[in-house]
Amino acid sequence: MSPSIPERVGIVVPDDFPSVFKGTDAHKRASALGEVKVFSERGAEQEEELIRRIGRAQVAINIRAHAKFTEPVFRACPTLKLVSVWGTGVDNIDLHAAGRNGVTVCNTPGVNADAVAEHALALMLAVARQVPAVDRAMRGGQWPRELLTQLTGKTLGVFGLGTIGSRVATMGKAIGMHVLAWSARGNTGRAKALGARPASKEDILREADVVTLHLRLETQTRGFLGRKEFALMKPTAILVNTGRGALVDREALLEALRGRKILGAGLDVFHEEPLKPDDPILAVPNVVLSPHVAGQTPEVIRDGLLRAVENVENFLKGAPTDVVVQPATRRHG
């Protein structure tokens, strides 16, 4: 048992909206550890409300990225010792503030890898083969016969070689693409093991027919693609983003799509979610959109939630797993 954690802990799920946790096997498993409060209504995106919901809980299971765990939140919740995140992304959590305030943060890396990689491949194909546009035209009485883009024999540029990026590289090879890969950690060995050629950021942008982003959103990756990067890309290139919207400069992306500086894009993530009805990306014809659903499969939800609860169990045993940040010294609440 971790220091200063009681045998029966208070666990809160402050942001189960839309609900995926309440009443599941993961919920039942968490209930064996202590009292569990699940909030399945909107409101966790408001700082004061998030603080109220956490209250005196020792553990928070974070479901949605709209709940922002900031310095004020950690300071206002001095009994909080663990944030267990369902998913890989932790950009909604101030990790430095968590460490300073004695809070461990865990996530569930790799659980959604197959689903997200499949979706990235689907977006590539949908843009290249113009599936949504052709479908709409046929339903309108047309019989479009324009030339489409073939991916076999083309070059796939993968940014990020975590579990998801590695899966995408493998899938690209499987359909006959040449794969270039860039690792934020400079892991050229991993690229070679996948049958990919390690390459610089600039070389990938110049050579790739499809560029796909699988990077963690951090200070150094925010705006990873901007005007300078789009200027390097082929006018026939396709961009796929299933990572985070902020990896790409929003205005630069709109300019590149509207000006046909690239062929098109397949996007599952956006700067603001959900998209507002007047968001300009909705009026751009050469983009295929999906509402951040790449990892939304029954298997991912089930396995990810159970993994998030397992991380709570291991933390309470004093052997935390899937740790993103762990304070050097714990405060006492």
Looking up residue 122, the CATH number of its domain turns out to be 3.40.50.720
Does the pLDDT of residue 174 top 70, yes or no?
A: yes
Are 302 and 210 in the same domain? no
Are 26 and 138 in the same domain? no
Q: Is residue 303 situated within a structural domain?
A: yes
Of 254, 240, 106, 93, which is closest to residue 160 (Cα–Cα)? 240
Q: Is residue 2 situated within a structural domain?
A: no
Residue linked to tokens 């909030």: 39
Q: Which of 48, 255, 272, 273 is catalytic?
A: 273
Its domain, for residue 316, covers: 9-109+297-325
Q: Is residue 163 situated within a structural domain?
A: yes
Q: Could you tell me the two tokens for 98? A: 């968590």
Q: Is residue 78 situated within a structural domain?
A: yes
**pLDDT tens, position by position, 103-120:** 999 999 999 999 999 999
Q: Is residue 3 situated within a structural domain?
A: no
Does the pLDDT of residue 332 top 60, yes or no?
A: no
Q: Do 98 and 105 touch, CB atoms closer than 8 A? A: yes
Are 285 and 305 in the same domain? no
Q: Is residue 49 situated within a structural domain?
A: yes
Are 137 and 251 in the same domain? yes
DSSP-derived secondary structure for 169-186: HHHHHHTT-EEEEE-TT-
Q: Per-residue confidence at 330, pLDDT binned at 50, 70, 90?
A: very low
Q: Per-residue confidence at 88, pLDDT binned at 50, 70, 90?
A: confident
Are 136 and 277 in the same domain? yes
- Per the prediction, the chain carries an average pLDDT of 95
Are 117 and 92 in the same domain? no
Q: What are phi and psi of 62, to 5 degrees?
A: -95, 120
Are 129 and 229 in the same domain? yes
Are 38 and 26 in the same domain? yes
What's the whole-model pTM score?
0.86
Q: Do 110 and 308 touch, CB atoms closer than 8 A? A: no
Are 129 and 267 in the same domain? yes
Q: Which of 53, 64, 244, 307 is catalytic?
A: 244
Task: Please indicate whether residue 273 is annotated as part of the active site.
Answer: yes
Task: Please indicate whether residue 244 is annotated as part of the active site.
Answer: yes
How many domains is the chain built from?
2
Q: Which long-range contacts (CB under 8 A, 24 or more apart) does 269-272 make?
A: 269/241, 269/242, 269/243, 269/244, 269/245, 270/245, 271/245, 271/246, 272/245
Q: Per-residue confidence at 6, pLDDT binned at 50, 70, 90?
A: low
Are 124 and 47 in the same domain? no
Distance of CA 12 to the CA centre of its chain: 22
Q: Which of 66, 292, 330, 331 is catalytic?
A: 292
Are 193 and 267 in the same domain? yes
Share of the chain above pLDDT 70, in %: 96
Task: Please indicate whether residue 49 is annotated as part of the active site.
Answer: no
Are 136 and 104 in the same domain? no
Of 25, 12, 68, 83, which is closest to residue 301 (Cα–Cα)? 25
Q: Is residue 45 situated within a structural domain?
A: yes
**Average pLDDT in the 311-316 region?**
97
**Average pLDDT in the 124-134 region?**
98
Q: Is residue 148 situated within a structural domain?
A: yes
